[in-house]
Amino acid sequence: MQTQLEAGREISRVQSAVAARRAQATLYKRPRPGEDAIRVYLLLCGILSIFTTLGIIFVLGEESLRFFTSGVTNAVEFLTSIKWQPQAGEFGILPLLESTLMTSFMAMLVAIPLGLGSAIYLAEYAPSRVRSTMKPILEVLAGIPTVVYGYFALTFMTPALRGIFGQDAVQIYNTAAAGIVMGIMILPTISSMAEDALSSVPRSLREASYGLGATRFETIVKVVLPAALSGILAAFIIGISRAVGETMIVALAAGAGSNWSFPPNFFVAAETMTGHIARISGGDLSYDSVDYNSLFAIGLMLFFITLGLNLLSQWVSKRFREVYQ
C-alpha cells in the first residue's frame, strides 16, 4: 500500500514525455491536414455511388437517344412492334419483353410458393436445430453463381422436361426450364426476406390468437401472414426484379433469337432482354452501330423496370414499418 501511494505521487514526475508536450499545449485548434484529407476522401467514396448511378443513366440514355434518332427506328415502334429482327431493321422490344415476363412468371410460379412455404416452415414450425442446419443450406443455394444454374437448366431441367412432356413438345432451348431454375435460384432470397418479415411479427399477436383457441395453422394464416404481408410482398417484388435482370440462366437455356408467341408457349425457344444483350455483346460487335445502340435501349428499359420494382418493394416495406413500430 505504501509503495502504491508513493507511486501515485510519482506520476507527474515520471511521465516526462507527455508532460513536456502538455506544457506547450494550448487549447487552440491545431491544423490537422491529415484529418481533413481523410474526411474529403471518405466523402468522395460516398459520392462515387451517386456518380455510378448518374453514369448508368447517362450512358443508357445517351446511347438510347442515338438509337432512337438514328432513323432506323423510333421510340413508338420500339415499344409497340412485335418484331425484333436487327438484320431487317426491325426493333420492337415486345418479343424480348414477353420472354422476359414469361421466364420471370415461371420463376415466380416456383419461387413464391416454395419460398414462402419454406419461410413459414423455418419461422413457425422448424425446431431451432433444423433451422440452424437449413439456413446455411439455403445460403449455399443463394451463393451459387448464376452460370452454374444455367448449366443446370440446360443439362438437367431441359432433359427432365423433355422426358416428362415429350421430345417433340419441348424444344432443346425453352423458357420453361430457364424459368423453373431461375425460380430455384430466387427461392432463397424470397425465403430469407419472408422469414425476416414473419419473425418480426410480435409474439403477443400469436399468443392472443392461441389464447382464443386457434390452431397453429389458423394462427399463421389468419394472424401472422396478414401482419407480415407487406414484408412478404416486398420479398416477392424483389424476387421479380431479380428474375427480370437475371442473365446467365436465360442466355444458356432459353435460346437465341427473339420469338413473339401468342398465346405464350413456354416450351419453345425465346430470347429475353438480358439474353439478347449477352448474346449480341458477346459476339463481334462494332461500336456505334445500330445493334450496339439498341443494346443500351434494352438496357434502359431493363433499368427502369428493375428500379421501379425495387422502389415499389421499398415503399411496400416502409409502410410495413410504419404499422408495426
Partner 1 sequence: MSASVSQANLLPTGAEFQKGLARRNFRGSVWGRFYSLSLLVAILALIALVLNIVNSAFGYAITAYEVEPTALVAGGDVGGLDAEQLVVILQDYQERRLPVYIRDNLSVVDPSIFTQVPLSESLAGRTFPAELAAMTVTELTRDQQAAVLAASLSVDTLRSLVEVEVIGEQVIHPYALSESLFERSRIDAELLEALEDEPNARLEFRSWLNFEFLTAAGSSDPAAAGVRTALLGTLWVIFITVLFAFPVGVGAAIYLEEYAVPNRLNKLIETNIRNLAGVPSIIYGLLGLAVLVRSLEFITQGRTILSAGLTLGLLILPVIIINSQEAIRAVPSSIREASFGVGATKWQTIWNQVLPAAMPGILTGTILAMSRAVGETAPLIVIGASTFIVTDPTSPFAKFTALPIQIYQWTARPQSEFRAIAAAAIIVLLVLLLLFNATAIILRQRYRKSLQG
Partner 2 sequence: MTQNGAYAIQLKNVDVFYGPKLAVSDVSLNIQTRRITAFIGPSGCGKSTVLRSINRMNDLIPGARVQGDVTFQGQNLYAPEVDPVEVRRRIGMVFQKPNPFPKSIYDNVAYGPRLLGVRSKAVLDEIVEKSLKGAYLWDEVRSDLKKSGLALSGGQQQRLCIARTIAVEPEVILMDEPCSALDPIATQAVEDLMKILVKQYTIVIVTHNMQQAQRVSDFTAFFSIRKQEETPGKENRWGVLGEFAETTELFSSPNSEETERYIRGEFG
Establish if 147 lies at the interface with partner 1 (CB under 8 A): yes
Establish if 52 lies at the interface with partner 1 (CB under 8 A): yes
| Burial (CB count <10 Å: 0-12, 13-18, 19+), residue 246 | buried
Selected from 60, 93, 96, 177, the binder of partner 1 by CB under 8 A is: 60
- Using DSSP, state whether 300 is helix, strand or coil: helix
* Residue number with CB closer to partner 2 (15 or 289): 15
Q: How far is the CB of 314 from partner 2 (least distance, A)?
A: 24
Establish if 271 lies at the interface with partner 1 (CB under 8 A): no
H or E segment at 84?
strand 84-85
Tell me how far apart the alpha carbons of residues 141 and 157 are, in angstroms, rounded to a whole number. 16
H or E segment at 257?
none
Provide the 10 A C-beta neighbour count for residue 225. 18
* Residue number with CB closer to partner 1 (53 or 74): 53
Q: Which does 244 bind (CB under 5 to 8 A by kind): partner 2, partner 1, none?
A: partner 1
Q: What does the block give as the cell for 135?
A: 439456413
Establish if 42 lies at the interface with partner 1 (CB under 8 A): yes
Site string (102-121) toward partner 1, x via CB under 8 A: -----------xxxxxx-xx
Instruction: Name, in order, each residue with C-beta under 8 angstroms of 147's C-beta and a sequence gap of 6 or more.
Output: 248, 252
| Burial (CB count <10 Å: 0-12, 13-18, 19+), residue 56 | middle
Establish if 15 lies at the interface with partner 1 (CB under 8 A): no
Selected from 12, 216, 289, 318, the binder of partner 1 by CB under 8 A is: 216
φ, ψ (nearest 5 deg) of residue 215 = -80, 170
* Residue number with CB closer to partner 1 (80 or 226): 226
CA nearest to 301, candidates 116, 94, 138:
94
Q: How far is the CB of 37 from partner 2 (least distance, A)?
A: 17
- Using DSSP, state whether 169 is helix, strand or coil: coil
| Burial (CB count <10 Å: 0-12, 13-18, 19+), residue 143 | exposed
Candidates 1-9, 71-79, 161-169, 235-243: pick the segment binding partner 1 (CB under 8 A): 235-243
Q: Which residues bind partner 2 (CB under 8 A)?
A: 4-5, 7-12, 14-19, 21-22, 25-30
* Residue number with CB closer to partner 2 (27 or 164): 27
Q: Which does 165 bind (CB under 5 to 8 A by kind): partner 1, partner 2, none?
A: none
Tell me how far apart the alpha carbons of residues 100 and 91 are, in angstroms, rounded to a whole number. 16
Q: Which does 203 bind (CB under 5 to 8 A by kind): partner 2, partner 1, none?
A: none
* Residue number with CB closer to partner 1 (85 or 215): 215
Q: How far is the CB of 59 from partner 1 (least distance, A)?
A: 4
